[in-house]
Amino acid sequence: MTERLVLPIDGSEAAWDALAYAISAYSPREVHLLYVISGPTNHPYHGDGSIVEDEVFAAERRYAEELFETGRDRIDDSALDVTTAIRFGQPPHQIVKYADEHDCTAIVMGSTGRDGAARVLLGSVAETVARRASVPVTVVR
C-alpha cells in the first residue's frame, strides 16, 4: 500500500483518469490534490508567484477550488485523508518540490499524450516530473 500520493490535477480527462487509477491501484492513506498556477504568459510575474493576490490569479484560484471539489467527489471515500494545495511556478518543478516537502511516497499523474513536434516545442510535464522526482511516478494515459 502506498501511503501518501500526490495527484496533480488540471481538469483534463487524463488527470481524472489518473485519480481513478491511483485510488483503485494504490489504496492510499492520503491523497494530495495539487494544482499549479504558472500564470498567463503575458503577465510580468509569469511563473514566480510573487504577486499571488493579483486579480490575474483570482480566476485560477476559483478554478482550482472547483477542481478540488470535483476531485473530492470522485474519490468518494470518507476514510481517505484528502489534502488540497495550490502552488505557483513551473508545474514540473512545483510537483516534484511538493512531493519532497510532504514526504509523499509516489506521484500519479495524467498525460495528454503529446508527441512529435508538440512534445519537442512544449515539453512534457509528466516526462520532466518522472525524470526529476525522488519518488516513483506513474503516468496514466
pLDDT tens per residue, range 43-60: 555 455 555 556 668 889
What's the whole-model pTM score?
0.85
pLDDT, the chain, mean = 85
DSSP per-residue letters across the chain: ---EEEEE--S-HHHHHHHHHHHHHH--SEEEEEEEE---TTSTTTTT-TTTTSGGGHHHHHHHHHHHHHHHHHH--TTSEEEEEEEES-HHHHHHHHHHHTT-SEEEEE-----HHHHHHH--HHHHHHHH-SS-EEEE-
**4-140: CATH number:** 3.40.50.620
Say if residue 6's pLDDT is above 60.
yes
Say if residue 74's pLDDT is above 60.
yes
Which pLDDT band holds residue 121 (cuts at 50, 70, 90)?
Answer: very low
